[in-house]
Amino acid sequence: MSEQGAPPAQQPLLLNVQYTKDLSFEVPGAPSIFTQLRQAPHVAINLDVQVQRLEEGANVFEVGLAIRAEGTMTPPKSAGGTEEKPTTVFIADLVYAGVFTLNNIPENQQEPILLVECPRLLFPFARNILADVTRDGGIPPVMLGPIDFVGLWQQRRTAAIAAASAENAASGAPN
């Protein structure tokens, strides 16, 4: 039993608040696109994790999960047999964010927490918003599958190391 007035034990990762930071949905060819749409559009997904320290010297960060979904359809071949370029059916942009506090986590361990664990906590909510907004926009709902945030983080680290190596090589500095 804890004493009254004693501070609660600090959690290493605390989600202070989560929110929709930006949301945009458009159907550029409406209403005619709905008469041409015979099947679910092909959907391309672009996902990024954005991290920003909110206060210098404090371990409080905003982590944003930026998702862009773009649906296209290929129109039927014209009478001349030439293939038309894909038509944009919809564009959905979402940035779903959270403010996280990291307590007693060493600096060298913060990156994987911010780029893997924090987005993992935000993802189910962002997934739901994207599905709802596309469905409410008259399009079959976009249902995102599981995301490998560890793999994304590793790709980001590999790209950063490669960029640093290329920069060093271009400047003549040893690796």
Q: What is the pLDDT of residue 101?
A: 95
Q: What is the pLDDT of residue 6?
A: 45
Spans of the chain, pLDDT less than 70 = 1-9, 76-83, 172-175
In order of their start, the domains of the chain are 13-75+83-170 (3.10.420.10)
Strands of 87-102's sheet, edge to edge? 13-26, 87-102, 60-73, 42-53
The position carrying tokens 């949301």 is 23
Q: β-pairing, 60-73 with 42-53?
A: antiparallel
pTM of this structure = 0.82
What is the three-class DSSP state of 4? coil
- 123-171 pLDDT, tens digit per residue, is 999 999 999 999 999 999 999 999 999 999 998 888 888 888 887 777 7
Q: What is the pLDDT of residue 128?
A: 98
Question: Within the chain, where are the H helices?
Answer: 32-36, 110-112, 118-136, 149-171
Q: What is the pLDDT of residue 41?
A: 92
